[in-house]
Structure 1
């Protein structure tokens, strides 16, 4: 999910382009046009406008058949700032200060309490859901409100999952890995189901992401 202030200021086509490129890792104009609608030239002009401002970059991919290489658009490093981030330096500094004042266990206890409080505040919304799919969909939308960016997906092989391409607490979880388990435990308690977390590395198939697979909806072991 793009930062709210940015969403309020920019054109709707730009938002759609940026989000599709965040999910896909890179697309040519014809595929972008198919996903977001509009004319070929309209989409291309919007991409070029974003590129001119430094938010997109291009590269060329050789075609499998005869023809010139295909031009692909992807997010440039400048676009990272468009997606919500926890105040990294301040948050990590506060956790380190808590360790100095209250002992080595203090940062972990604060993070555990954060996810417990978050789960408590979300529980009433999920209690109104009539199915596990509805619960997971609501959970995904609530996570977007705190700055995550993802999509609910389903296929016969892997079942239902939440694919997330951005998490504002990523750097904090890297510094305090137990926070990953605190968050996962919160999700399992909210859904009433085991959730399998899988890290998917970036590559030719798309950008890096985290998959949260809901066990009762067909998770693959």
Structure 2
């Protein structure tokens, strides 16, 4: 992603999303990332008229995917602010969630937590091989950017930023969508395996400060390069 605008417009999976394409899909992705927006902001971002934006929003509200509330700032008429509804999370990409959740439940029942951890780490080893080919010849900063690009391509709506905290020269990876959230909510080991994968790929120390599986609006990874800097 760039300029806080979602780049990946992956197909939605829920039947309620049938017929949602073009501008409506972009509006949903924008609200997913920005959390809320007014009518004028959405119209300007989508490069459409206010009337056009209002029509799309009305349809999304009818489907139960968007909610609106009034916001008063000073004198004059209140401003309408739009947000995603709780139901909207069901229409974003969920990757292999349903099959994988069932598989992990089966493994846990028959092999215990150790079996789940083993399976997740084997999966991360496979991902490491795929990701590494795109990261191996890059410097640290570019590795973080490329990892964000890969995750964005996979439906995580990801971006990377320099960490602006005082005295911190690290980076931050943000993921605004979690395709495996139903897995992570039941099997927290999936989140730990993901962080370990990033640490290995980037050769970095990573602190996970926010997690969608714990109710946060974003998964946030604070990344600091290890001192010798070698991948």
Same fold, TM-score > 0.5, yes or no: yes
Mapped to 1, the partners of 2:55 and 2:113 lie a distance apart of 54
1:19 equivalent in alignment to 2:40: no
Deviation at residue 87 of structure 1 after TM alignment: 5.1
Q: What secondary structure, in the 3-state scheme, does the structure 1 residue paired with 2:209 have? A: strand
**Counterparts of 2:211 and 2:71, CA distance in 1:** 23
Q: Which runs of 5+ in 2 are unaligned?
A: 1-7, 227-231
Gap runs ≥5 in structure 1: 202-206
Structure 1 contact 161–212 (Cα < 8 Å) conserved: yes
1:95 aligns with 2:93: no
Runs of 4+ in structure 1 displaced over 6 angstroms? Answer: 6-9
Q: Structure 1 128/40 Cα, relative in aligned 2: closer, same or farther at 3 Å?
A: farther
Alpha-carbon distance change, 11 to 80 in structure 1, aligned in 2, over 3 angstroms: same
Paired residue for 2:184, among 173, 191, 194? 173
Structure 2 match to 1:139: 147
Q: Deviations over 1:151-196 (max 9, x none)?
A: 3233533653121122122232232223322111111111122222
Show the counterpart of 1:55: 65
Shift of the 53–8 alpha-carbon distance from structure 1 to 2, 3 Å rule, reads closer
Q: CA deviation at 1:11?
A: 3.5
If the length of structure 2 is used for normalisation, what is the TM-score?
A: 0.77
